[in-house]
Amino acid sequence: MMQAMSDASPHPSSTGRRERVLSGAQPTADSYHLGNYFGAFRQWVALQDDFEAFYFIPDLHAITVEYDPAQLRERTYIAAAQLLAAGVDPARSALFVQSHVPEHAQLAWVLGGITGFGEASRMTQFKDKSAKGGQDASSVGLFTYPILMAADILVYQADKVPVGEDQRQHVELTRNLAQRFNHRFGETFTVPQAHIVKATAKIYDLQDPTAKMSGSNPSHAGVVDLDDTAKQAAKKIRSAMTDSGTEIRFDRESKPGISNLLSIYAALTDRTIESLETEYADKQYGHLKVDLGELVGDFVQSFGDRTRALLDDRAELDRVLAAGAERAREVAAETLAAVYDRSGFVAPR
């Protein structure tokens, strides 16, 4: 039986089950942006064909910074609609909200016991985020955030975690915690791998092409939000900061602005950077920006249309999320039971 199942699955893991993929994206803005889409969602969608997929909206992570509850609730629905609009298919992937699966938080507590204080202090994302508001303004939740992320991943025994470059260190911590637990308490967790597609691992801000595109940037002039109108998006691309010189060539060091636009162009059209360099060899920056502005405009337009249609039917979104959480809990409960047992907790009888 096991054998037949693994034969039918394109990516059987060492335990004979289908390999699993897991990822999440925080509902901390009114919309996801182009960086999330190219850095993460495109890979999520591609991987759901061959893997058993778990994709979720980390609302528990979202409360580690100051937030408004009503806004969080609305943003969670928007996130669900945008992930569906991006191509997450509930028939193939469990799409759910993190807080619907209490095992994430329960496992995080256990993992907290084997995480070193110094180890957690080395997380660069925490250092960056806490530096912005000052250490006293940072919550303990922001500090322990990577431990919850490790629990998100390990509770599903995920093999692959498609993320952008900025999450690499968190996945590395997750691997360390999985190995440490396995070593101390016996084989329990699959040690996951980050799945980072180099070409789109970091999409940069259009106004500051040395910084990553981020929803928490105070100005969205350099951020193409997936709910922008075609006009807004095209304008942002046309106004992108570009480099001195005139040549359209990919060179991250001396031409970060043009290189970023070429990366976005290549990702959006599935073309190579080289073919774009050839096409634009005799043209000017303005030509590239106008063309890419139109392409991105069309893209966000149809993305927005799909999202709005999905948001119009909240009951259907609730159904999708409930089914996703039900599937997720089956797997998460099994892992948590094994972890509690290995940890030496007396089983309730």
Residue numbers at the binding site for ligand TYM (CB under 6 A): 22-26, 35-36, 39-40, 58, 61, 149, 152-153, 161, 163-164, 166-167, 170, 201-203, 212-214
CB of 44 to ligand TYM, least distance (A): 9
Cβ distance to ligand TYM smaller for residue 219 or 244: 219
- Non-local CB neighbours of 49 within 8 Å, separated by 6+ positions: 92
Minimal distance in Å, beta carbon 23 to ligand TYM? 4
CB of 147 to ligand TYM, least distance (A): 11
Min CB(150)–ligand TYM separation in Å: 8
- Which class for 279: exposed (0-12), middle (13-18), buried (19 or more C-beta within 10 A)? middle
By Cβ distance, which residue is nearest to ligand TYM? 39
Q: Closest CB to ligand TYM among 58 and 90? A: 58
Least separation in angstroms between residue 229's CB and ligand TYM is 21
CA-closest candidate to residue 250, choices 237, 240, 261: 261
Shortest Cβ 121–ligand TYM spacing (Å): 17
Closest CB to ligand TYM among 6 and 28?
28
Per-position b or e across 203-212, b if 16+ CB within 10 A of its CB? bbbbbbbeeb
- Phi and psi at 157, nearest 5°, equal 55, 40
Instruction: Supply the minimum distance, in Å, between the C-beta of residue 284 and ligand TYM.
Output: 26
CA distance 301 to 282: 30
Of 24 and 324, the one with the shorter C-beta distance to ligand TYM is: 24
**Measured from the CB atom, is 6 or 97 closer to ligand TYM?**
97
Q: Which is nearer to ligand TYM, 165 or 294 (CB)?
A: 165
With respect to ligand TYM, which residue has the nearer C-beta, 199 or 322?
199
Q: At its nearest, how many Å lie between ligand TYM and the CB of residue 114? A: 18
Considering the complex, state which of residue 36 and residue 242 has its C-beta at the smaller distance from ligand TYM: 36
